[in-house]
Amino acid sequence: MSLRSQLLKGVLEGCILSIINRQPTYGYELSVRLQEFGLSDVSEGSIYPILLRLQKEKLIEGTMQKSELGPKRKYYHLTEAGKEALIEFIEQWETIKLPVENIIKKEE
Amino acid sequence: MNSKDIIKLNNNLREKLSEENKEVYEDMLVYIRLNANKSEQQTEEVLYELLEHLLEAQKDGKTARDVFGKDLRKYCDELITEIPGEGKSLAFVSGAYIVIYFLAIISTFHGLGNFVLSQFFDRFSNNFTFSLGSGITVVIVDLLILSVFIFAILRWIKNSTFKEKKTKKWVEFLQLWLISTAFIGATVVIPIIMPSFGTEITIPVLTFAGVGILLFLLAFVLNKKYRITK
């Protein structure tokens, strides 16, 4: 795995938890959101292995529901463990975000 | 929602895919479904999500390869590793279902067949005699052959996915014919070459058929209760 994808993997999980936390979301919608936020390099399909892993770790749960228009969809929501994991992710992100930015800026 | 209901939804929704996307998606579907030891529920749920996503992307003129990447086999393998295994109890029930169904077929047709033959030919007896030891051994060996056969077929189907060039129909037919003939041949040969040992038991052939029908009923009830095949 390239450094790029390793870097992205953990961050992407955190972002997915964060988006699902705002409101129940289904797969396609989730990938649209990620792209809207600028993560356009993330290939669309790559969210599904992550969603499966998050379900296996019991951080999210999905239920098949009728959508307003269109077919049935699997909507995800966070479990209690998922909410804790999200808080933890945000804390960890805060502790590395500034130092990393400072280091990179000095390089320039 | 049960996995069998999701399969039905999938079957209907799949028709909306374009010719090209449908071909790729169905390869993915076959490749992912063939992992017999994975949770069927999770498998069908993620397959349905992929289908829905592809349909949405199709509206923007995207193809399956745009969405899931160029290396589809690798992408599917990634998904498969993340799908949880089937729960032990459900795996056991499915295994038991296959075994019971197999025994039901053997005893019903063996019983009825011998009964019909005994009505017309003297050399076929109304009673069925077998040795307990070799009888059980034959059944176990046949079940082992059956599982090898099932895995061979699953492997064959898996290999037929994601082909750039489609294999010729007659080559496929020949391969499947060989696998099936080897299976039927082995199943027939085992009881013939098995030396008889153990206590000899004699039961009327109709009783034998009756046991088979009871096993069919049992398989039917299991299927109704656990929704194994539909």
Domain residue spans in chain A? 3-107
B51 and B124 housed in the same domain: no
| Final residue belonging to a domain, choices B82, B109, B129 | B82
Cβ distance of B45 and A64 shorter than 8 Å = yes
CA distance B159 to chain A (A): 23
B61 and B95 housed in the same domain: no
With beta carbons under 8 A apart, name residues in chain A contacting B71. none
Question: Position of tokens 């964060």?
Answer: A18
pLDDT for B98 beyond 80: yes
B111 and B206 housed in the same domain: yes
Cβ distance of A72 and B9 shorter than 8 Å = yes
CA distance B82 to chain A (A): 6
B177 and B202 housed in the same domain: yes
Cβ distance of A52 and B69 shorter than 8 Å = no
Cβ distance of B56 and A56 shorter than 8 Å = no
Range of the domain at B58: 3-82
Q: Which amino acid is at B91?
A: A
Give the ranges where A1-108 is alpha helix by DSSP (H): 3-22, 27-36, 47-56, 80-107
Reported as a single tens digit per residue, the pLDDT across A24-79 is 999 999 999 998 988 877 778 999 999 999 999 999 999 998 877 777 899 999 99
Q: Residue A64 is inside which H or E element, if any?
A: strand A60-66
pLDDT for A1 beyond 80: no
Considering only alpha carbons, which residue of chain B is nearest residue A44?
A: B67
Give the pLDDT mean for B21-29.
Answer: 94
With beta carbons under 8 A apart, name residues in chain B contacting A74. 45, 48-49
Asked whether the beta carbons of B13 and B55 are under 8 A apart, the reply is yes
Round to whole Å and give the CA distance between B99 and B94.
9
pLDDT of the residue at A3: 58
* Most B CBs within 10 Å, among A20, A41, A52, to test the B interface: A52
Residue B83 corresponds to which tokens in the numbers above? 């799908």
pLDDT of the residue at A22: 94
Asked whether the beta carbons of B98 and B145 are under 8 A apart, the reply is no
- Residues near B146 by beta carbon (within 8 Å), at least 6 away in sequence: B98, B102, B183, B187
**Interface size between A and B, measured as CB pairs under 8 A:** 59
Domain count, chain B: 2
B115 and B22 housed in the same domain: no
Residue B229 corresponds to which tokens in the numbers above? 């095949």
B149 and B183 housed in the same domain: yes
Cβ distance of B49 and A31 shorter than 8 Å = no
At residue A58, the 3 state secondary structure works out as coil
Reported as a single tens digit per residue, the pLDDT across B145-204 is 999 999 999 999 988 888 877 778 899 999 999 999 999 999 889 988 988 888 888 889
Reported as a single tens digit per residue, the pLDDT across B122-158 is 888 888 888 888 989 999 999 999 999 999 999 999 8
- The percentage of residues in chain B with a pLDDT greater than 90, rounded to a whole number, is 62
Round to whole Å and give the CA distance between B56 and B191.
56
B130 and B159 housed in the same domain: yes
pLDDT of the residue at B75: 94
- Residues near A3 by beta carbon (within 8 Å), at least 6 away in sequence: none
Could you tell me which residue, A20 or B37, shows the higher pLDDT?
A20
Task: Give yes or no for A31 touching B (CB within 8 A).
Answer: yes
- The percentage of residues in chain B with a pLDDT greater than 70, rounded to a whole number, is 100
Q: Could you give the C-alpha distances from A97 to A21, A91, A102, B11, in angstroms and in order?
A: 21, 10, 9, 46
Cβ distance of B67 and A43 shorter than 8 Å = yes
| Final residue belonging to a domain, choices B24, B52, B82 | B82
Cβ distance of A43 and B69 shorter than 8 Å = yes
- Strand locations in chain B (E): 127-131, 200-204
B142 and B214 housed in the same domain: yes
- Other beta carbons within 10 angstroms of residue B227's beta carbon come to 13
Cβ distance of A31 and B53 shorter than 8 Å = yes
CA angle, residues B185, B189, B192, in degrees to nearest 5: 160
- Other beta carbons within 10 angstroms of residue B84's beta carbon come to 14
Report DSSP letters for B141-209, one per residue. Answer: HHHHHHHHHHHHHHHHHHHTSS-SSPPPHHHHHHHHHHHHHHHHHHHHHHHHHSPP-S-EEEEEHHHHH
Per-residue confidence at A86, pLDDT binned at 50, 70, 90? very high
B130 and B211 housed in the same domain: yes
Residue B9 corresponds to which tokens in the numbers above? 């939804």
- Written out in words, the top-level CATH class of the domain with range A3-107 is mainly alpha
pLDDT for B94 beyond 70: yes
B68 and B92 housed in the same domain: no
B92 and B195 housed in the same domain: yes
| Final residue belonging to a domain, choices B21, B47, B82 | B82
Q: Could you give the C-alpha distances from B92 to B119, B149, B222, in angstroms and in order?
A: 40, 19, 12
Q: Which amino acid is at A45?
A: G
Considering only alpha carbons, which residue of chain B is nearest residue A61?
A: B42
Give the pLDDT mean for B10-34.
Answer: 94
Complex ipTM value: 0.87
Round to whole Å and give the CA distance between B103 and B122.
27
- Residues near A30 by beta carbon (within 8 Å), at least 6 away in sequence: A16, A19, A20, A47, A51, A76
CA distance B54 to chain A (A): 9
B127 and B199 housed in the same domain: yes
CA distance B52 to chain A (A): 8
Round to whole Å and give the CA distance between A96 and A93.
5
Round to whole Å and give the CA distance between B168 and B177.
14
- For residue B24, the domain's CATH number is 1.10.1900
Most confident of B24-28, B89-93, B116-120: B24-28
* Most A CBs within 10 Å, among B39, B49, B73, to test the A interface: B49
